[in-house]
Amino acid sequence: MGIYLLRRLLLIVPTLFGIMLINFMVIQLAPGGPLEQVMARYTSSDSALQGRLSSGGAETLGGGGAGGGGDSRYRGARGLDPQFIKELEVQFGYDKSLGERFVKMAGDYLRFDLGTSFFQARPVIDLVLDKLPVSISLGLWTTLLVYFISIPLGIAKAVRDGSRFDVWTSGAIVLGYAVPSFLVAVLLIVFFAGGSFWSIFPLRGLVSDNFHDLGLWQKIGDYAWHMALPVLSMVIGGFATLTLLTKNSFLDEINKQYVVTARAKGLGEGRILYRHVFRNAMLIVIAGFPAAFIGILFTSSLLTEVIFSLDGLGLLGFQAAEKRDYPIIFGTLYLFSLIGLLTSIVSDFTYTLVDPRIDFERRES
C-alpha cells in the first residue's frame, strides 16, 4: 500500500497542474474580465476619473481623467486615459503575458500563496479561512447525516423489498428528491424561524452575538441551534440518491450465489447481511463519498447560505465569479481540487478497511 500511496501522491502534482492550466486559459480568455469591470465603473462618471490610483486595492482605483483615445483591447475603455489603463494593467498583473502570469501563479501556489483579492484587497487565504467554518459546518454535518440516514434506510429497504415499508419510504424519498433544498429552506423559515407560525430557531448567522460569553455546553447548544434548519434543508434533498444506491447495491449482492450458499449452510440472516453482504455492497457507496463530500461542502450550499445569511465559501465563490475576481476563483479552485484529490486517496484506504482483500498495488501491477 505504501508504493501505491506514494504513486497517488506524486500524481497530484501533474493533475493539479492540468486542472489549473485548463481553467486558467478558459477564464482568462473570457470577456468581461476585472479590467473591464473597473473601466465600466469609471466610464459611468467622469468625475470618478479625477481620483488617484491607490495601492490599497481595486475598489479604490482612480485614474488620470478622461482622454480621447482609450484602449480598444478592453471593453469600456473608450474615453479613458491610456496612462490610467496602463496603471490598471500593472495593478492587476495584465502587463505580463498569459504564460508569465500562469507561471507566477503556479509558483505562488506551490508555496500556498494564493494571492490577494482584486476587489477586497485581502489575501485569498484569509478570506477562505474566514468563510471556512460556515462551509465546513454545512458540509460535514450534512454529509454525516445523509450517510447515517441513507445507509440504514437503504439496507432496510433492500431486506424488505416490495413491502409496504419499501413503497412508502420510496414515495417519501422521491418527494424529498423532487423538492429543491432552497424551497425546503424557505418552508422551514416560514414554519420555524419567525415566519407565519413558530419562532423557534434563529434566522441568520452561525452563532449568536454573545457566543464568546457562553460556557462550553451553551456554545455547543447555540451552534447546534443555528445549524439545525440549514443542515436539515440540505439533508432532506440529499439522501435520496444514496439511499436508492445502497438499496440496489444490497439487492444485487443478496441475489448472488454465495448468499444462497451461506443460507444453505444454516448461517443466520444477520450474520449473512452484516458479515458478508455488507462488505461487498458498501464498496460502491464508499466510492461516491469523496464526490459527495466535496459537492456538499463547496457547491451545494450557495442558496442555503444566502437564505440563512451564512457567509461561506459558496457565496464567496459566486461573488468572485460575478466580479471576475480571478485570485479568489483560482485560489479556491486550487484548494478544492487539492482537497478532492486527497479525499479520493482517503477513500481508497477506506476500501481496504471495508474489504481487506482489496490490494491496489497488486491490481495495478
Reported as a single tens digit per residue, the pLDDT across 127-151 is 988 888 888 888 888 888 888 888 8
Summarised one tens digit per residue, pLDDT across range 7-26 is: 888 888 899 889 889 988 88
Say what the pLDDT of residue 122 is: 87
114 Ramachandran zone, left/alpha/beta (phi>0; psi -120 to 50): alpha
Among the residue ranges 37-41, 51-55, 96-100, 185-189, the one predicted with the least confidence is 51-55
What domains are defined for the chain?
132-325+342-354 (1.10.3720.10)
Say what the pLDDT of residue 55 is: 42
Summarised one tens digit per residue, pLDDT across range 258-285 is: 888 888 888 787 788 877 787 777 777 7
**Secondary structure class of 256 (helix, strand, coil):** coil
Say what the pLDDT of residue 310 is: 83
- pLDDT score of 76 more than 60: no
Question: Alpha carbon of 303 to those of 89, 179, 239: distances in Å?
Answer: 34, 14, 18
Among the residue ranges 37-46, 211-220, 332-341, the one predicted with the least confidence is 37-46
Residues facing 66 on adjacent strands? 80
Say what the pLDDT of residue 60 is: 39
Cell of 11: 500524481
Q: Are 360 and 7 in contact (CB under 8 A)?
A: no
Say what the pLDDT of residue 168 is: 92
- Give the residue-averaged pLDDT of 189-213: 81
- pTM score: 0.71
Torsion, Cα of 321, 325, 331, 337 (10° steps) = 20
Q: Which residues in 15-36 are b (16+ Cβ under 10 Å) and which e?
A: ebeebbeeebeeeeeeeebbbe
CA distance 280 to 283: 6
More confident position, 345 or 1: 345
**Secondary structure class of 233 (helix, strand, coil):** helix
Say what the pLDDT of residue 258 is: 84
Environment class of residue 74 by beta-carbon count within 10 Å: exposed (0-12), middle (13-18) or buried (19+)? buried
Rounded to 10°, the helix 289-298/326-354 angle is: 150
